[in-house]
Amino acid sequence: MIETRELTHTYQPGSPFESVAVYNVTLTIRDGEFVAFVGATGSGKTTLIQHFNGLLKPTSGWIKIDGVNPHEKDAPKGLMRSMRQSVGMVFQYPEHQLFEETVAKDVMFGPKNLGLSDAECAERAREAMERVGLPYGSFADRSPFELSGGQMRRAAVAGVLAMRPRTLILDEPTAGLDPAGRAEFLSLCAELNREGVTIALVSHTMEDVARLAQRVFVMKKGSLARTGSPRELFADADGLRALGLEPPEMSRLRAILNSRGMDIPADTLTPESMAAALARILPRGSAPKPVEEAAR
Amino acid sequence: MNGVVIGQYIPGTTRVHLLDPRTKLIMTFAYVALVFCARGLVGLSMAAAYIAGVSIQARIPIKQLLKGLKSLTILITMTALMNLFFTRTGEPALRLGSLTITDMGIRTAVYFAFRLVFLVMGTTMLTLSTSPIALTDGLESLMRPLERIRFPSHELAMMMSIALRFIPTLMEETDKIMKAQASRGADFESGTIIKRAKSLVPLLAPLFISAFRRAADLALAMESRCYQGGAGRTRLNELRYGRDDALAGLIMAVMIAATLVERFVFTAWTIKL
């Protein structure tokens, strides 16, 4: 569980370049949840989530990870390390952190830092690589720098998964991936969540948020502007636009259809659920009225 | 490390900020020469007046200038003490056991300390009020006459600009990779020296790779916009001297004249060094 109370983070306090990146954020992420952080560029999402494994220290307010404040003065030695193990962090463009000669060695970097035996490290590397779709047999001994962009990303994610985190923080993990890579990656996230891993996803793609998240935190200018389920949040398209966000396509389509007298339920946020809702409403065999023009 | 700004430039739109960078460079060189020539009260008060005047005009508090002195405190103190104890000329003013401090020693020590302080403050003023890019532009323009002897002034300035431009980017990159590796349990701070040096590999390897990638990208981006080096290249913003530049030059000329007059004409007031 991750809890913050009135967490504020100021960069370079006291200098002419002082800037408040996160202001007065109070939130709780419960174990096993899948939450999403959305907000315009520069709204403080990345700064906020970097508190979740103790990388940044709040300027004021506090954070507790599983009930422990990592910045407490009398924090035991090694607390930070165990915290970093239990909360994994996948940065934007994680492939930039690859450095080892082989993929397997790179994936083992985390487990090695945890002081695990070589056999255990290799085992974890195998498991993590298979998990992200890089078969150990054919990728273990290749240099990470000769992989394709998508494969490099997966190798980097495997490096985080090999720590076996109970919470996974993902900062725009699908940026720059092709549609297939994106879908694959998101289904991996959903699968991990089903296995009990708490997931916090930062994303600009409302469709992904609508599909996956149970709860959404909307950031604006460093503050938490709104919290709620995707259904609640995307129902209010105008409010969302005021926060600099565009509702997912399906909720825009729903608004258009409903304004023309249809009654599509509010939780219709994905193409699949939209298709199902339309199939229920439209009589069998009837052709739907053209909506293309209206959708435009 | 976020938002790190290179040098100490404090953005502003005061007359000092808007001066031609060439003027500021020449002024600073002249000022340094002045401080070295100063041998008496007139010279030192000229330097003090310059600092005070520029500081007010540029709206940069003296406190900010003094920050630049912090790292030099020891050097300045040592120099002053050396002068205090090892000056043999002048009348004895104080006896401490076998050490004799002369009145000339006291004066020399004070003058030297002030000189060093003024020197640092004056050059700090330049970097506080001039952006690094403006500085390189100014340097390129001042070095242009050297092109006759095949000195690559444009290329040098371009290299400096690019280096300056990418320092913050590389700092951000370093910060990000450090955090990413720390998230995987890397420890950059504890352990023996060898262990710590080894712990830098996961940081430096990705950093070098990204620096090379950026360099290649930048070269491509420049070439695709027809960059071919300095020959025949014109500028969007030409450096042009204005009225304030003339004024600044005039003030500096008066100050230098006063200092030289004091040094060579009214030598009676000055201290012999």
Q: Convert the pLDDT of each residue in B32-85 to its tens digit.
A: 988 888 777 788 888 899 999 999 998 888 888 887 787 788 888 898 888 888
Which pLDDT belongs to residue A71? 87
Least confident of A102-106, A125-129, A130-134, B182-186: B182-186
Q: Please check the confidence at residue A288 and state whether its pLDDT lies above 80.
A: no
pLDDT band at residue A289 using 50, 70 and 90 as cut-offs: low
Residue intervals of chain A classified under CATH 3.40.50.300 are 1-76+192-244
pLDDT band at residue A110 using 50, 70 and 90 as cut-offs: very high
Average pLDDT of the residues in B128-143: 88
B186 contacts on A by Cβ (under 8 Å):
109, 113
ipTM value: 0.84
Q: Tens digits of per-residue pLDDT, B200-257? A: 899 999 999 999 999 999 999 999 998 887 777 888 878 888 899 999 999 999 988 8
Residue B30's closest CA among B240, B249, B267, B264?
A: B249
Q: Do B209 and A145 touch (CB under 8 A)?
A: yes
B214 contacts on A by Cβ (under 8 Å):
none
Which pLDDT belongs to residue A135? 94
H/E run at residue B156: helix B153-183
Q: What would be the CATH architecture of the domain defined by A1-76+192-244? A: 3-Layer(aba) Sandwich (3.40)
Q: Tens digits of per-residue pLDDT, A23-49? A: 999 999 999 999 999 998 889 999 999
Which pLDDT belongs to residue B1? 35
Q: What is the pTM of this model?
A: 0.74
Which pLDDT belongs to residue B261? 83
Average pLDDT of the residues in B161-166: 85
Q: Tens digits of per-residue pLDDT, A272-286? A: 888 888 888 887 766
Which pLDDT belongs to residue A57? 92
Q: Do B3 and A99 touch (CB under 8 A)?
A: no
pLDDT band at residue A17 using 50, 70 and 90 as cut-offs: confident
Q: Tens digits of per-residue pLDDT, A252-265? A: 888 889 888 888 88
SS3 B242: coil
Which pLDDT belongs to residue B271? 52
Measured from the Cβ of residue B115, the count of other Cβ atoms closer than 10 Å reads 19
Average pLDDT of the residues in A5-33: 90
Least confident of A65-79, A120-134, B123-137, B255-269: B255-269
CA distances from A203 to A162, A171, A183, B173 (A): 23, 7, 14, 21
Mutate: best of A83, A97, A101, partner B, most B CBs <10 A: A97
Measured from the Cβ of residue A178, the count of other Cβ atoms closer than 10 Å reads 11
Q: Does A62 touch chain B (CB under 8 A)?
A: no
Q: Does A168 touch chain B (CB under 8 A)?
A: no
Q: Do A97 and B5 touch (CB under 8 A)?
A: no
DSSP letter, residue B265? T
Average pLDDT of the residues in A192-210: 93
Average pLDDT of the residues in B3-9: 54
What residue in B sits closest to A163 (Cα-Cα)? B184
Query: Which amino acid makes up residue A198?
Result: T
Measured in degrees and rounded to the nearest 5, phi and psi for residue B11 equal -60, 145
Average pLDDT of the residues in A121-134: 94
Q: Please check the confidence at residue B163 and state whether its pLDDT lies above 80.
A: yes
CB B6 within 8 A of CB B162: no
Alpha helix (H) residue ranges in chain A: 45-49, 79-86, 103-113, 118-131, 136-139, 149-161, 179-194, 206-212, 230-235, 237-242, 249-259, 271-281, 292-295
B187 contacts on A by Cβ (under 8 Å):
81, 113
Q: Please check the confidence at residue A296 and state whether its pLDDT lies above 60.
A: no
